[in-house]
Structure 1
């Protein structure tokens, strides 16, 4: 690593907190003296603000993104033995939330352009046990929700969107949080809209779902038809709500900086090696929770090159979920060729609101030159 360059980390969790530090310290002192630590005013305000941002009538704060997924599936009627169609190219929590309900995750392949669930693979995976479809706008790229929702409507299925990585993502002019019967969010500290611990939220198009979730999260059982759903401890505390509200007030500014970094990368990296997001008449927006490049068989070589240049990178979802030990409780529908190829070839670059643009240009040039030389060698 050159002595003139500081090491570039994949995240900076401190710098974005500096503009809100004094505000949060003052609020925290007030909270300590108020005695209102859980399910208080900060949480209620956060729910209202984020419901409005996502264009839904109600949102309910819970203890984590994983808890949000599980309670949303339960509210949607997923029971033991039911099947939920989802993507294998995502974090373990997507699969685990299905398995915890004694339901069966059914994995379908992804699209190479944006790494999201391929709607063309869904219909053949539907059986008489299928209850829901769970798309994941991975890394902040919108899923093809028009096609997914049309399939769900035709077959009488629920749609639950796991948007843990996609707050602010837009598909066809609407926020991702408005596309499913319910959508779920994670506030883990590395997310685009973070807390300083665990936290999650369920966005509801039907207020009855929100009312039931508010009971479930405080140990109250809920009866839906002839099925009794036990409650559990899944409350969002006031500290997290306070921090998330402060970060949400600055979300647009942080996202603008994130977009600028992505634009710099795009200017250096060949289009064939990066995200090609969905496009619709009313417009789509990517929020770049992560920025990925496809490296072919030379991923390890590029990763070493960047490490030597003082740049941290990561590999995600290699292998994809259908190759994990827990996948014994689910099944793969067909050959998941694109998911496995993404697992082998995709490399994650640093992207965050505090990343200096000069570093983004330097990283982009390194990656662009490497991938350009690879393309030349193959031609």
Structure 2
């Protein structure tokens, strides 16, 4: 059994992927070729915003978003400690300060009740994360941010395709960012990412930032990065997107099946999907009273599992300078100590699910 079965998907669309790559090889526009702009148009329409700016990775998407908001050294950006390091890493790269707030114990996403106390005169952005496939409570987060005049950047690396009160992820704030890392719900065959915004000026600025701050060729009015998505990756993503809506439905169905199969298993807590949310289950993540024992049991039956983010960011050496101690964010620490992700992909069979859940 595969933890994430990419081969089953490839089998369905291999011929189409090869045709699209062949067209790129024929026209030879490997950087900023027509497939890049086609993909941006397709994804912008899907999300429901005017602007999609593809880029080289989900990390670059977050970095470009912060740069577009002119985040400066000493500024503060509120985010969560229970996430992949990219979320806080990009803040630190700009010499700004990540300000952590704890997560909710059921969704594992940013706790809106904790935000207001973290806002200071130096707060320049709020960056919630849609962990494991569902959006954070963007309605409440946006309301708090709006009262203080603070922009919100949605880190939707894991929840692209999910909805919050009927609106797609990446269409919920000033800027939405996602990742096309191969294991993501919409993943390429290499690194990639995208940024979404309804704001014309921000979109123009991020397009400049993506190409070394270049407005017109050889003219660089601002500092940027080399953040372009390769044309071949865009071609692959275009073909993979033909399956994406049905795969999101399959992920939701498989998630519900897991919920049912695990409902009566002792010492396990299944993930909670908040009212008004849908999830694309980038991972199906449970809490286990004895995670190590459960993981070992699964491994003995050749069933893979993964414990993500076992050391929250506030306890990582990279952020030691912030001065945090164990106990500062107890919910994040509890989830980090007990979380376990089970096999998940749109092609996971019920037979395999039953084998996983036969505990």
What TM-score results when the alignment is normalised by the length of structure 2?
Answer: 0.94
Matched residue of 1:265: which SS? helix
Alignment deviations for residues 133-167 of structure 1 (CA, whole Å, 9 cap, x no partner): 00001001221111100110111111000000111
Asked whether 1:77 is paired with 2:73, we answer no
Alignment deviations for residues 352-379 of structure 1 (CA, whole Å, 9 cap, x no partner): 012121011221232xxxxxxxxxxxxx
The number of aligned residues is 350
Q: Is the 8 A contact 1:86 1:135 kept in 2?
A: yes
Alignment deviations for residues 319-356 of structure 1 (CA, whole Å, 9 cap, x no partner): 10100011135465982110000000111101001212
* Residues 323-332 or 57-66, more deviating: 323-332
Match of 2:119 in 1: 126
Correspondence for 1:61 among 45, 54, 78: 54
Correspondence for 1:251 among 224, 227, 244: 244
Match of 1:147 in 2: 140
Match of 1:180 in 2: 173
Asked whether 1:318 is paired with 2:329, we answer no
Matched residue of 1:245: which SS? helix
Match of 2:274 in 1: 278
CA distance in 1 between partners of 2:45 and 2:7 (Å) = 28
Q: Is the 8 A contact 2:255 2:281 kept in 1?
A: yes
Correspondence for 1:352 among 342, 345, 349: 345
Alignment deviations for residues 195-252 of structure 1 (CA, whole Å, 9 cap, x no partner): 1001110101202111111111111257xxxxx7411211111111011111111112
Distance 1:331 1:105, change over 3 A: farther
Superposed, 1:220-235 pairs within 5 Å as: 220=213, 229-235=222-228
Matched residue of 1:132: which SS? strand
**Cα offset, 1:72, TM superposition:** 0.3
Correspondence for 2:14 among 3, 6, 21: 21
CA distance in 2 between partners of 1:335 and 1:231 (Å) = 35
CA distance in 1 between partners of 2:125 and 2:19 (Å) = 44
* Residues 10-19 or 149-158, more deviating: 10-19
CA distance in 1 between partners of 2:304 and 2:262 (Å) = 18
**Cα offset, 1:184, TM superposition:** 0.5
Correspondence for 2:30 among 28, 32, 37: 37
CA distance in 1 between partners of 2:126 and 2:197 (Å) = 16
Distance 1:329 1:208, change over 3 A: farther
CA distance in 2 between partners of 1:44 and 1:122 (Å) = 37
Distance 1:84 1:229, change over 3 A: farther
**Cα offset, 1:27, TM superposition:** 2.2
CA distance in 2 between partners of 1:31 and 1:196 (Å) = 15
CA distance in 1 between partners of 2:166 and 2:213 (Å) = 37
Correspondence for 2:296 among 295, 298, 304: 304
Matched residue of 1:178: which SS? coil
CA distance in 1 between partners of 2:210 and 2:108 (Å) = 33
Aligned-residue CA RMSD in angstroms? 1.6
Correspondence for 1:136 among 129, 142, 151: 129
What TM-score results when the alignment is normalised by the length of structure 1?
Answer: 0.89
* Residues 84-93 or 352-361, more deviating: 352-361
**Cα offset, 1:120, TM superposition:** 0.3
Distance 1:179 1:332, change over 3 A: farther
Correspondence for 2:150 among 131, 147, 157: 157
CA distance in 2 between partners of 1:116 and 1:352 (Å) = 22
Alignment deviations for residues 230-287 of structure 1 (CA, whole Å, 9 cap, x no partner): 11211111111011111111112222222222122111213870111221xxx32111
Asked whether 1:196 is paired with 2:189, we answer yes
